Structure 1
């Protein structure tokens, strides 16, 4: 089925939690999210890379999730720092594993509301995976939260307002030394799950080690959340995972790269080339011409808004020595095997999952997101699929965030999820 063969889901029969009856606040929050995303695209972060906290000593020791260093910070909701969040914010550096299982240091942020949890059971912890930030160290979510320039800050604030604690990884190589391993499935999943472990071990948060955990993310973050829920049973079986949200998931990189090549969002494909080659130790000199080498080197130091502006409509055939496109390169080794390893949907999530995607997404094809939901269903997962018709990738985040709030609160309330697999 392609993007023109859209089947909208039936109305859910299950009772919804009380929080879904607050549409005005939800509309305000997601409206701010859209404005923040637009602002991020127009105004890339230019904060200089700091030393010290983001430069971990070598070698990295400790089990995954071990807190290596922590320091207080302030989460600001605006770039002029006029509106600080009341949440207790801590920047952390923690032990994780790269795609091959080697120990690495990753940074992130733990946010805890200042008021007690009044819901049922223990305070839930949301491991929120950020959408595409860029590849420069200055683009790390922990830096942008502190600078008031994180475009998903309004949604995160909405989670805190609902009483959830939030743990947000910077991913491998984003802030810390090395190249950010953009869209490398296992590396991103490990960073998301180890961020939970670190948050639960961080002193003074009041978060129980065995408390309820949920995952969420959109775009790159949707891919990270989806990969994490797949790997959780084997990589982090001790976590009390209750559910996961995966919005606009780039589950099949080959199809996404073909769609992006030469488009307004060509930079995302360039990020993938840089991130995948770094993760697998692949030398690109045999494939790229002088311009290609220069472009890939450049994107490694850029944030998303800057990259979109500088590399819009770049065609990959203009960057390769023999004029082949990314799609043509992806069909041959070593790229074919690397891309195949990033495929999401081959493992069954053990908890309820919500997959959201806009039919009119101009970055990640709708068929890719729907295909992920279908793949999970064929493996027996409990999947709710929520399509929408909001134009563009950025626009599709608005209904996705609204659905995320309802999904998370339903899990907290202990309500069963009605699976959509019968119609997918």
Structure 2
């Protein structure tokens, strides 16, 4: 588990150091199980601590490392983020292993929901088992994998769920961190793939990642059932429905707490009914899977009477994927029976991008549910990567 206080103290002291200090490349010692690296935190991607982990679910990985690294938050402020790195088996090619950045789906906002803290029987383990199949396919292809937890999951501060800027930063800075892992060699070529929440993150990276990290070569993005199309609609839906499903009631507190973490002036306790506040408080300490299991009935009322939802909906609207125009080839995968991410919204986004004449390949999954896009991804990556390598990215817009 990550130690919040010590890492936060270290970060704040590192921020005060002059930016002209050299950033050393951490060399991992195989004789030590954990190192806290005494490095100034002036550069995004700086590795602050590193620890070996069992490869467990990742049968195609030779090594796995848990890292805490320097990143940037909602306002580009310095933060600590966590995640894990997987190395493929075999010898690295001459120019180093290419990198896949994996952006995970919704797990919750509590620290226990960080995928890097996963364990058998844990609240995110079932999801991690499915994700591992997809990541093993990349490892088998000779890619190193870095999997950030996002801001505030397992590290200081709240998790600004679905905040486009924060997710962009934690993903890009995780890739920077990989390049500081010595003595291993890594290529400047990298891809991003994300599912659900991570699908939105991958689209943010596709739009702004190359500009954010011009020293690296972002080749393409894979968005699997990306959430966030007309994101403000979730609040409007909850406010107008006389009765909502328990699954929606379990998910909505994550939206509220995420908005509050990004903008503290959006205080959910001032918006929700006393009955919904109980669910909100549950979500502060539980993951989505636990909320879905424990909440048998949705509150009869969600919001307080005559509440002003404008600040909340305005914030959510700014995070919507409609604002993200990819600058690299994108593979969009969506199940048409997905009850969590409406396939009509994903297709509308696809059409929007096509009108801007950006290369995008849309792959619908007939009768596919929310997780089928993730399950099917391992069978789609070869064709996508090969088309880019050949300089002819697949474009289904025509």
CA distance in 2, matches of 1:156, 1:396: 13
In 2, Cα distance between equivalents of 1:190 and 1:312 = 36
Deviation at 1:297, TM superposition (A): 1.9
Q: Does 1:246 align with 2:223?
A: yes
Asked if 1 retains the 8 angstrom alpha-carbon contact of 2:384 and 2:394, the reply is: no
- Alpha-carbon distance between aligned partners in 2 of 1:393 and 1:269, rounded to the nearest angstrom: 17
Aligned pairs for 1:298-309 (under 5 A) are 298-309=282-293
Instruction: Give CA deviations for 1:369-408 in whole Å, capped at 9, x if unaligned.
Output: 1122122222231111111123421234333442234323
For the pair 1:172 / 2:147, whether they are aligned, the reply is no
User: Contact 1:122–1:212 (CA<8 Å) still a contact in 2?
Assistant: no
Structure 1 counterpart of 2:301: 318
Distance in 1 (CA, whole Å) between partners of 2:167 and 2:374 is: 20
Q: Report the TM-score when normalising by structure 2.
A: 0.82
- Structure 2 distance, partners of 1:365, 1:69, is 39
More deviation, 59-68/376-385: 59-68
Match of 2:273 in 1: 289
Question: Could you say if the C-alpha distance between residues 391 and 265 of structure 1 is closer, same or farther in structure 2, counting changes exceeding 3 Å?
Answer: farther
Q: What TM-score do the two structures reach when normalised by structure 1? A: 0.77
Unpaired stretches in structure 1, ≥5 consecutive residues: 1-48, 78-82
1:153 to 132, 150, 154: 132
Q: Which residue of 1 aligns with 2:180?
A: 201
Cα 1:297–1:55 shift into 2, 3 Å: farther
The two structures, once aligned, show a CA RMSD in angstroms of: 2.6
C-alpha distance 304-353 of structure 1, shift in aligned 2 (>3 A): same
The answer to whether the aligner puts 1:71 opposite 2:51 as a matched pair is yes
Partner of 2:393: 417
Q: 2:109, 2:287 within 8 Å by CA — same for their partners in 1? A: yes
* Aligned counterparts, 1:113-128, within 5 A: 113-117=88-92, 122-128=96-102
Question: Aligned residue for 2:36?
Answer: none
Q: How does 1:124-135 map to 2 (within 5 A)?
A: 124-135=98-109
The aligned residue for residue 374 of structure 1 is: 351
| Cα shift at 1:173 | 0.6
CA distance in structure 1 between the partners assigned to 2:101 and 2:7 by the alignment: 23
Contact 1:54 1:107 in 2 (8 A): no
Q: Aligned-pair distance for 1:271? A: 0.8
2:63–2:87 Cα contact (<8 Å) kept: yes
Mapping for residues 69-108 of structure 1, pairs under 5 Å: 69-77=49-57, 86-108=61-83
1:133 and 1:215 map into 2 onto residues whose CA distance is: 19
Q: Paired residue for 1:280?
A: 263
Task: Structure 2: give runs of 5+ residues left out of the alignment.
Answer: 16-40
For 1:363 and 1:255, locate their aligned partners in 2 and report how far apart those are by CA, in whole Å: 13
Cα displacement string for residues 106-136 of structure 1 (whole angstroms, at most 9, x for unaligned residues): 0111111131246x96421000111122222
Deviation at 1:146, TM superposition (A): 8.8
- For residue 258 of structure 1, report the CA deviation from its aligned partner: 5.8
